[in-house]
Amino acid sequence: MAARTAESDLALAYRLQLEEAMAASLALQPSPSNSSLNSPKPSPPISINHALNLADLRTLRINKFERPSGECSSSKNNNSKKNNEDNQEVFRVYFKGLLSEERVPGPRSSNKTVSVAAIGVAICDSKDEMIFEMKKPLDLIKGDRINMKIVEGQALIEALNAAISLNLKRISFYCDCRQLYQYVSGHWRPKQQKIIKILDKVDLFRKCFTHCEPLLIASKDVKFACQLAREAIKSQISKVVSSLGKLEKCVICLDDKSLYQFFSIEGCTHQYCCSCMKQHVEVKLVNGVLPKCPHEGCGNELRIESCGKFLTPEFTEMMRQRLKEDSIPVTEKVYCPYPKCSTLMSRTEVRGLPKSGDGFGARTCYKCHGIFCIKCMIPWHENMSCAEYKRRNPTQLVEKSLLKNLAARNLWRQCNKCKHMIELSAGCYHMTCKCGYEFCYTCGSEWKDKKATCDCPFWVDENIMDDIEEVEHGDVWFVEPN
């Protein structure tokens, strides 16, 4: 109110000054009744522009010396102040993860217990008005261990990711899980590996904000997020119930099973029951072959992310190693020389391993942390050249020679691709190594497109025994590569 009064006073003063300047200009002009001969020569009239300039100068003086201190009425300053207030606003991020076991009606009046998980995220402004919401189901991997802390951590990651996508810079996220709050606050240290990975991602996301503060609240105060998570849970249960009501026959085992028990292969959409797919993938992995779609003529490779739904963690890790072996060319494969480790690495990986201070060619295995020589690929020989070490330690050469003699005596064959030793136990001479290489056991020639490239016999009668199950490629035993 005081600012408006001051502005009106200044406007009135400006008008009075302008009227005085105009009056002075008119008073100096000669009267028409007076003679031009008797009157002195008049001064030149003050122009309107000049009068305005004088008024402007006086107004500037008033603005400079007479305006009360601290008064600011410009729109520019007001806009700047408003922008600063907007930049200082702290948005509120609510999140909730729910994990539940539900009994749903199955086929033939049977009930089935299913585990479902979902998350809800609600982002509000400083007045608690919601500006963003998200509800999302979580895919649970069969055989995987999961708890509420992991689900809550996944919900927090999704919430922070949503805040980043909205380009928010100042947030406070509200936890109703006390353990998760202690973890993100740095008061407790988690021991579970999955929680550690979640917290690493949370720390990475928190660096994207200028202000990111965790706050502990009661469960009843998680507001919208909990409701969104419940809605996602209900949606999941509805889908499970609808799928359980429909039966379909698996073309492998010929059993009628619900759609919920089927696995759809990405890329080709062939479907088989999870039980058959589990056996198919495990057998292939044990035989050292990357699993593919079992449909005849379909070569679509299975993805480890999708197979994790029915594989145990041990077979999931085995599949990950098979994928790594298949991705590394034979000439680039390097194994850790320590017998208790034998970790597979590529030469590019070996060159990038941390260097040991013991010597230029020394590298440290990333798994067993043993030091080895990258030149001769044997355990590190300190203060000794590779040639000198081999000369002083002929035992390894003797062991290698003994292995070759033993292989020749027992008719073992060495894979031309990965150099593994293979022994034929029973069956035909068509061999498939764990690396996927197919060859003739008699002469070692490669098989191409499931066909032999040599004229050797396919089998001999003494290797075909009635008391064992028929096998397509023969049983194989593996010895560590030389």
Active site residues: 428
C-alpha span between 370 and 381 (Å, rounded): 12
Angle at 462 between CA 457 and CA 464, to 5 degrees: 80
Q: What is the DSSP letter of 309?
A: T
Q: What is the DSSP letter of 32?
A: T
Helical pair 193-206 and 148-165, crossing angle rounded to 10 deg: 20
C-alpha span between 122 and 95 (Å, rounded): 6
- Percent helix, strand and coil across the chain, each to the nearest 5: 40, 20, 40
Instruction: Select from 54, 58, 56, 59 the least CA-distant residue to 25.
Output: 54
Q: What is the DSSP letter of 438?
A: E
C-alpha span between 363 and 350 (Å, rounded): 7
Q: Which structure tokens are listed for 424? A: 């034929």
Bridge-partner residues for 175, per DSSP?
216
Contact (Cβ atoms closer than 8 angstroms) between residue 252 and residue 158? no
Contact (Cβ atoms closer than 8 angstroms) between residue 171 and residue 91? yes
Burial 331-349 (b: 16+ CB within 10 A, else e): eebbebbbeeeeeebeeeb
